[in-house]
Amino acid sequence: MDLSAEKQRRLRELVVEAKEILGGCLHPDGRPKTFAELEEECIQVGDRFTTQLLLGRVAERAPDAPSADCPTCGRRGERGPEEPRILQTDRGEVGWSEPAYYCRSCRRSFFPSFG
């Protein structure tokens, strides 16, 4: 992924905001946090940021067509009700709902977004 200089600048602004949200680098008693403690806080923020970002992008990408091609046989499957999806990602659990499609030939439901 190639980000423009402008997009990189905007991401740096988000980092500044995340740093403000995290707060200071000292414990309440005044001791400085260790590198490992600071790293762990950054990882937690990054993981939460990543899962929320992924969730937003997944929801945007969900197709809303009355039918979709079955990934197994290629025939048209009909749109069914929305079903909850939960994926365990490297950065945590991501949950959303999207329409499932049903293929009569294969007698199975599928999500076109995942094949």
Q: Which residues bind Zn ion (CB under 5 A)?
A: 70, 72-73, 103, 105-106
CB of 99 to Zn ion, least distance (A): 16
The answer to whether 22 and 33 have CB atoms below 8 angstroms apart is no
Dihedral (C-alpha) 72, 76, 86, 21: value to the nearest 10 degrees? 120
Question: Which C-beta is closer to Zn ion: that of 51 or that of 77?
Answer: 77
Question: Which C-beta is closer to Zn ion: that of 50 or that of 109?
Answer: 109
CB of 98 to Zn ion, least distance (A): 19
Q: 63: which 2 tokens?
A: 């197709």
Question: Which C-beta is closer to Zn ion: that of 52 or that of 72?
Answer: 72
CB of 111 to Zn ion, least distance (A): 13
